[in-house]
Amino acid sequence: MNIPFLGNRRQKAGVPDPEGIAELLAECELLRSQAGRAGVRLDDSPASLEALDQLVPRWRDDEETSNWLGNDAGLYLGTVIVRTVPGAAWEIRADGQPVVRLTSGREFDVVDAGHEWAASGVPELSQLYAEVAEA
């Protein structure tokens, strides 16, 4: 997911606003809407990732919805990681792609992972979270 306006905003201001970027990336409107209709509450916790993994993937029949949902799922996974794994933070690469960086320097392309999850359900979001949390 390329977010070019974030890069421009950073360049103009000179200093990134990590809280503002994190809030923007945490919106995940389509995912939150779909989850809510299925009775799943997204509270930015690892348990909510497990609940998402249990959703019936009705979106897979609609390529556009699946693409948007993949973006949202990745951003939501990143949001949970940033809010619960000490030292994890959002970083916007030069190409505009949001990634999560751990204190170890390891980088996770959560949006790509979200697309894989939306398309096939594998790997599960909760599994990805567990791998990152252990890293």
Tens digits of pLDDT across the chain (135 residues): 545 444 444 444 555 687 888 899 999 999 999 999 999 999 999 999 999 999 989 888 888 889 999 999 999 999 999 999 999 999 999 999 999 999 999 999 999 999 999 999 999 999 999 999 987
Name the residue type at position 104: S
Give this prediction's pTM.
Answer: 0.86
Specify the 3-state DSSP secondary structure of 108: strand
The domains of the chain are located at 4-134
81-91 pLDDT, tens per residue? 999 999 999 99
Evaluate whether the domain defined by 4-134 bears CATH number 1.10.3470. no
Calpha distance 13→107 (Å, rounded): 25
Report the SS3 class of residue 109: coil
Count the neighbouring beta carbons within 10 Å of the beta carbon of residue 16.
Answer: 16
Separation between Cα atoms, residue 87 and residue 106, nearest integer Å: 11
The Cα-based distances of 37 to 27, 30, 34, 40 in angstroms read: 16, 11, 5, 7
